[in-house]
Amino acid sequence: MLPAQHPPVKLFAGRSNPALARAVATHANQALGQVKLRNFADGEIYVQYEESIRGTDLFIIQSTCPPAENLMELLLMIDAARRASAERITAVIPYFGYARGDRKDLPRVAIAAKLVANLLTEAGVHRILTMDLHAAQIQGFFDLPVDHLYGRAVIEEHLRTHHDAFLDNLVVVAPDVGASKIARSYAKRLGAGLALIDKRRPEANVAEVMNIIGDVSGKNCLIIDDMVDTAGTLCEGARALHEAGAVEIRAFATHPLLSGPAIDRIEASPISRLTVTDSIPLKRTSERIEVISVAPIIADAIHRIYADESISTLFAE
């Protein structure tokens, strides 16, 4: 339960993921505040808080997954809260969109993640709470506190509770070099081996597997990544692992974007189970996809932020 102290705490939700927002509020033992969110005929977004938020410690829960209106809605909610004299505004962004644009790796491209950070700051946010950023250095794009949670805590508990047999003879697989650090962390905590899929990406959303570094023959393999978009990389990697002699192949991704043919690809791949979190609502269910909730860890982080307590145990790598 959140401590009863001044300033009062209030939780509000945008429309990107209402189910997760309700679950977070339940775990925080709070009711979601009343806010009017609607679209004009031309699609423009209208925001109005329907209760006083003056002097409050305000938390706005909104993933910025596509469409881009979800980001715009969050910006308008922050602006409205600032103009209504909220004491402190924390944007709770379970999935931080545009995080793949974290650097200028080609001529004449935008650094989208920095632009989004600037927009949120200018809108009036005081703090960011997010989970499994595509690039951890995005925290440095903000000149304000950023609390970065990891989905690892929920997947570890889930595996040990429901899939303990799968952990025997386990190898954690990084789908690319960028995921090797987090995969190494999983492997250490699960007492598992580690492997890496060496790939090249000729163009966006297209991956070509080149080599598997590590021994996966006769092993259970768990592919770890922060997000799964079109699932091309994931499924190509799973096929390479299968050809290399892996016994059972599962995958975990915090953010299930699952765009275009992603679910069909997963169902046609050697992946027996893809576990994701509810940071983004699923567009379609599948027998091969299971969803675990990050609401408890987000609610715990909100409690600690409000009470000025350390949350380092929640995001330690």
- So which residues are the catalytic ones? 199
Which H or E element spans position 188? helix 180-190
Which tokens hold the place of 207? Answer: 């991956």
**DSSP secondary structure string, 215-243?**
--TT-EEEEEEEEESSSHHHHHHHHHHHH
Distance CA 183, CA 173 (A): 6
**Partners of 45 in the beta sheet?**
39
Which tokens hold the place of 128? Answer: 């960011």
In the block, tokens 């700051």 appear at 121
**Residue 51: CB atoms within 10 Å:** 11
Distance CA 179, CA 64 (A): 22
Query: Dihedrals φ, ψ of 138, to 5°?
Result: -60, -25
Query: Dihedrals φ, ψ of 121, to 5°?
Result: -65, -45
DSSP state of 68: T
Which has the closest alpha carbon to 28: 15, 12, 46? Answer: 12
Which H or E element spans position 195? strand 193-203
Query: Dihedrals φ, ψ of 10, to 5°?
Result: -140, 140
DSSP state of 34: P
Distance CA 99, CA 104 (A): 13
Residues sharing a CB contact under 8 Å with residue 308, sequence separation 6 or more, in sequence order: none
In the block, tokens 């209504």 appear at 84
